[in-house]
Amino acid sequence: MTMDNKQTGIALFLVLWVLTLLSVIVGEFCHAMRTEVNITRNFKEETQAYYIATAGLNQAISELIKLRTTPRRKEKLPDEKEDDLIEWRFNADIPAIPFAEGQFKVEIGNESGKIDINRANRDVLKMMLNSFDIEESDKDIIADSVLDWRDRDKLHRVNGAEDDYYLSLPEPYECRDGNFVSARELLLVRGVTPEMFYGGLDEMITVVDQDEASGKKKKKKQAGKKRSKKRTARININAASPQLLRSLPYMTDDLVQEIMEYRKEKDFRALSELLPIVGSEVYAAIIPYLSSPVRISPIFTIKSWGSVGNIRRGVKALVKIDTSLRRKYRIIRWVDG
């Protein structure tokens, strides 16, 4: 082989090596650019989905205000769209509504269908735990510990807990000895596990003061003390979740389903309308836990999910509808995600 042929071969090898290197660099650049484009697109769609969800929540607030200020019509006007006939009720299955480049899906709940953890007595607290697969002794511990958390003394009940228990934990803290200020505070109470709380308990309880929420003026402190001994939490049959209904004494899945089917068409106007559905025995057992007359609270829990393509974002708000306010509503609590 001549010297010229050797130099030609080396030059060809170097050219091939440079081309291979450039191909790798170009490939990496293209991959990085695709990744950046996908990240940017996902961020854009996530942002769009979030604001679509926010739009759905605001739409729900607007419709709830309308329900409070204008009578409901069932007939359709000639120039009215199908979307105008959607029932924005807390019992209704509200369909997904197209909006901008995606759609939103809204669920509306009412706080009257939850148990006020600051007003519930021991029987109500134990009833609330019926839908969880736990021992009776565990129910006693949780019920007594909730009552000990709320009361102002340092003496614990038979199965309860006070400072001596909470201060002995690996991460110690003191018992509140006062009303719960949020539902998540229940996680601090002896016996309540994250699995129970996020497995449905958080959707069954509320800490909203219903008297304050409804705008009732509180009387003198002494009178309030006298009433506080008698008051207890009761639930609205029209707003209670299936899990909470299932917790009521002698309730079965079939009976819960029948109640839910009834509520799809209309609300219970009186508790007596329950009798033909559940029967006299179940009716007598559950009536002490239900509110009468059947009234809704002005406090609503609104969940809204916005979606763009496969991207989905959600928002949740606790909202008070009050037509005496300038904006007709007040946001009590807002949660993103």
- Cis amide linkage into residue 293, ω under 30° from 0: yes
Assess contact for 115 and 242: CB atoms under 8 A: no
pLDDT tens for the chain, 337 residues: list them. 566 666 677 777 777 787 788 888 888 878 777 777 777 778 888 999 999 999 999 999 999 998 887 755 545 445 545 455 577 888 778 899 999 889 999 999 999 999 999 999 999 999 999 989 999 999 999 999 999 999 999 999 999 999 999 999 999 999 999 999 989 999 999 999 999 999 989 889 998 754 444 444 444 444 444 444 445 678 999 999 999 999 999 999 999 999 999 998 888 999 999 999 999 999 999 999 999 888 888 999 999 999 998 999 999 999 999 989 999 999 998 998 7
The string of DSSP letters for 248-272 reads STT--HHHHHHHHHHHHH---SSGG
User: Domains in the chain, please, with CATH?
Assistant: 119-203 (1.10.40.60)
Residues 6 or more apart from 176 whose CB is under 8 A from it? Answer: 149, 150, 185
